[in-house]
Amino acid sequence: VEPVVVVHGGAWAVPEELWDESLQGVKAAARRGYGVLTAGGSSVDAAEASVVCLEDNPVFDAGTGSVLTFDEQVEMDAIIIDGTTMEAGAVGAIRNVLNPVKVARLVMEKTDHIMLVGDGANKFAAAHGVQEVDPEVLITSLARQTLAKYKKYTSTVYHLFNKTEKPETSGHE
Amino acid sequence: TVGCVVVDREGHTSCATSTGGITAKMPGRVGDTPIVGAGGFADDQVGAVSTTGHGEAIMKACLARHITSVMGTGESVKSSIQNGLAHMESRIKGFGGAIAVSCKGEVGTHFSTPRMTWAYIQAGKLHYGIHPNQHVTEDL
């Protein structure tokens, strides 16, 4: 089989000011994973390496650069699957780690479970040597601006239309 | 959201997907990304998929599993992704995108949102794009 590494940086209405950085980011991530593969790494090693590269790039909504919850926190989700064994590992709503996909891989390889969430995921990560980082490290000015705009816009809408229900979230994964 | 799918020389497949979620999400809300068969799926007998888009819709549609199921019937990878996204749009009014690779090394990318950045390397060439129907190729 001709080996291949494919990556994506998210499907959404990517604004023009992010087009170039986003393309450079996915190209770099594809190169990273392909390099791991050609150096003898497994397909899991390559997939993890590419996603780590994307998580570390603040232009993408994952790892550093993640968007904010309504409470101005970063909560991240990740999964990794080995197609040979169909083993899977995942984390949900994990906080304060640079690379959630690395914790997902630890879940796959070190537990009998598929997914750990919230505090449990963070405790598991810490127990396996994953260092917690200051939450500020993960938060970009763009993420703060986007949340501020969201809150301002939705409060205006609710005032104008006298809505009383909680506003819907915007954007998507 | 970001993601990756891989097939190696022996036909071993893997996928990984990671996300910070949605702006202003309810604390504790978890989307499709960490759900097997929604945010990703991999099976050496068929291939691997990573998805992105409206998380709740992707979960309802089990999008990654849907796409691999169609791939398993012999459909092309790209056509399988289009099938999955069309199903999600028609049944749930959800939009998104996906990347996939078959166990034989066939690649597919497609999205129903305005844009999706993607790239892949195969046989000494780097392929990438962001706009619908854009496909740029460079020699490595």
Q: Is the pLDDT of residue A101 over 50?
A: yes
For chain B, percent of residues with pLDDT exceeding 70: 100
Q: Do B40 and A81 touch (CB under 8 A)?
A: yes
More confident call, B89 vs A154? B89
Q: CA A83, CA B121: separation in Å to the nearest integer?
A: 20
Q: Which residue of B12, B96, B99 is in closest CB contact with A43?
A: B12
pLDDT at position B94: 96
Are B38 and B63 in contact by the 8 Å Cβ rule? The answer is yes
Q: Do A14 and B116 touch (CB under 8 A)?
A: yes
Q: Do B1 and A67 touch (CB under 8 A)?
A: no
Q: Is the pLDDT of residue B91 over 80?
A: yes
B1 is catalytic: yes
Looking at residues A116-136, what average pLDDT do you find? 97
Contact list, A90 vs chain B (CB under 8 Å): 34-36
Burial of A48 (0-12, 13-18, 19+ CB in 10 A): buried
Q: CA quadruple B69, B53, B56, A68: dihedral positive or negative?
A: positive
Q: CA B20, CA A62: separation in Å to the nearest integer?
A: 5
Q: Of B39, B65, B61, which Cα lies nearest the Cα of B50?
A: B39
Q: Is the pLDDT of residue B69 over 50?
A: yes
Q: Is the pLDDT of residue A161 over 80?
A: no
